[in-house]
Amino acid sequence: MKRSFWCVVSTILLLGTLCGHVYANQSVIAVGRAEIVGSNKDGARNNALANAFREAVEKGIGVWVQSQTEVKDAALVRDQILTRAQGYVSDHEIVKESVEEGILTVTIKANVAVDKIGLDIKTLVGRVSTTMGNPSITFVLTTWEKRGHQGSSSKNDTVDMYVTSETSGKHDSADDSESSQNLSKGQDASSVAVNAITKVKQDSSYSKIDEVLWKKEPDMTIIDSFQQEFLAKNFDLMAADKARQIAVSPSLAQTSVDPNDRQSVRNFATREGAGFVARGEVKILGFAISEATGNQEVKSQIGVEIIDVNSGDIVGSFTNTATASSSNGDEAKIQSIKKNAVLASRTLAAQTIEVWQKRSLNGRQYSIEIRNIKSQRSQKIPLVTAIQGLAQITNQSNPDSTTLLVKVLFKGDKETLGNGILDAVGSKTGFSEAEFDGPANEDGKIVFVFKK
C-alpha cells in the first residue's frame, strides 16, 4: 500500500510538470575547464567557473524547454541566454577541482533559476516573432586555392562597423577539433567578443583576389555550412540557388556579382530582397606531409563579413586559420574548409541575430538622400519635418550644396518609410508629381529628387 501511494503521488507530480509547471530552481552538476596562463591559477579558476556556469545554464535551458509546448524557437535565443549565464546561477558549490597538463578543471553543483531562463526566452522569442518576422540573408561565398606564393592585394575601405568579432591565429588539428567540440556545446561562438552597443567608424581591410595567382575552386562546403546554420537560426535564405551558383562557378567571370566589390555584393542582395549578405572566402594556403603520421595536411584561412544591406554597416566579421590531416589530400582539404566554415557560420549567425534583434527594437537603419535642393524653407525643412514624424534621425550631412543625406532608425521596411515620407509632403506646395520625384532605391538608399 505504501509503495502504491508513493507511485500515485509521483505520477501526479510528474503530470503537473508535463502540464506546464516551470521549475523555480534546478540543481545541476556542471564542469568547466580553463588553461592556466603563466602561474595565474586564480584567473584560470575564474575562467573555468564561467565555463561551468554556462554548462549549468545550458542544462537549465534544456530542463525548461522539455516542460514547454508553446515555445518552439528557444534555440534562436539560446546564445543570448548563455552570454548572461552567471545571472541565472543563484548559488553554486565547487565539488571538485583538478589540474592536469596546465588545464584547471572545476566541477560544480549549481542551482539554476530555470523560471528566469524561461521568462527571458519567452520575452526574446516573442520579440523576435512579433517585431520584424524572420531576418533574411543571402551569401556570396567562394573557395580559392593558391597558385603561387602571393595571391592577393590589400585594399582599405572606410565603412560603418556595428559589430566586430575576429578570431585569428595558428591552430593545429587538435586545437581546431577542440574548438569545434566547444562550439557544439554553444561555448565558443558566443564567447567571441561582441560590441553591439556603440557604432564606430573603422578602417576595414579586405583582399582583392587575383585570379592569375589564385584558382577558384568549385566547392559547396562553405556555402552548405552557412546555409544550414543560418536556416537553423530561422533566417529566410534569399537567392539560395544563385548563392550556390557563385560558389560552384569555376571563375568569377561566370558569376553575376564580384565578391571583391562590397557595393556589387550589396546591390545583388538588394535585388534579391535580403536584409543581410555574407561576403567572403576560404583560401587553401598550402599542402604538407606530416612527419609524424605521413598523412597529408591542408591549411586554410577563412575571412567573412556580414553586411546590413539597408545601411551598408558591417555587422559582423570573422577570420580564422585551420589545419586538417588525412591520408587523402582531397579529404584533408574538405575537412580544413569545413572546420573554418562551421566556426565562422556559428559565430556570425549568433552576431547577426543579436544585431537584428536590437534593431528590431530600436528600428533599422536607413539612408535617405534628397537631391537638387534649391530652397531651405520650402524644400529642405518640410522634408526633414516629414522624416522626423516617421523615424528617428541619427545623422544629417550635405555631400554637396544641393544634396541632403539623412540617416534614420525606422521600425518598418524601406518601402513603408519611403511611401510614408511621400504621403507626409504630398499635399504641400512644391511637392507635386511634376516637381518632386521618389522614392527610388539606389545603392540601398531611399532617394528623392526635386525636378524644378
Question: Strand, helix or coil at 175?
Answer: helix
Residue 334 host element (H or E)? helix 329-362
CATH level 2 (architecture), domain 21-130: 2-Layer Sandwich (3.30)
Same CATH fold, 364-450 and 21-130?
no
Q: What is the DSSP string of 309-329?
A: TTT--EEEEEEEEEEEEESSH
Question: Strand, helix or coil at 257?
Answer: coil
Contacts of 214 (CB under 8 A, 6+ apart): 144, 145, 146, 147, 151, 152, 283
Domain 364-450 in this protein, CATH class:
alpha beta
Task: List the chain pLDDT tens, one digit each, 452 residues.
Answer: 434 434 433 433 343 443 344 446 788 899 999 998 888 888 889 999 989 898 888 888 777 766 664 555 555 567 777 777 888 888 899 999 999 888 999 999 988 888 888 777 776 665 555 445 678 899 999 999 887 544 444 444 434 434 333 333 333 333 443 343 333 333 333 333 333 333 333 334 345 677 778 888 898 999 999 999 998 888 889 999 999 999 998 888 888 788 888 888 988 998 888 889 999 999 998 888 888 888 889 999 999 999 988 778 898 999 999 999 998 988 999 999 999 999 999 999 988 887 887 776 667 788 899 999 999 889 999 999 999 888 888 889 998 989 999 988 887 778 888 999 999 888 788 888 888 998 988 877 899 999 87
> How would you classify the pairing of strands 392-400 and 364-371?
unpaired
Residues 370, 385: contact at Cβ < 8 Å? no
Task: Tell how far CA 368 is from the center of its chain.
Answer: 26
Q: Give the C-alpha separation, 4 to 450, whole Å.
A: 85
Give the pLDDT of residue 71. Answer: 52
Q: Which residue has the cell 533599422?
A: 364
Which sequence spans correspond to the domains of the chain?
A: 21-130, 134-359, 364-450
Cα angle 249, 251, 256; round to 5: 70
CA torsion sign for 58, 63, 69, 70 is negative
Four-CA torsion 248, 251, 255, 259, nearest 10 degrees:
90
Query: How many C-beta atoms surround the C-beta of residue 200 within 10 A?
Result: 9
Longest CA pairwise span in the chain (Å): 95
Give the pLDDT of residue 67. Answer: 62
CA torsion sign for 205, 208, 318, 128 is positive
Q: What is the DSSP letter of 108?
A: E
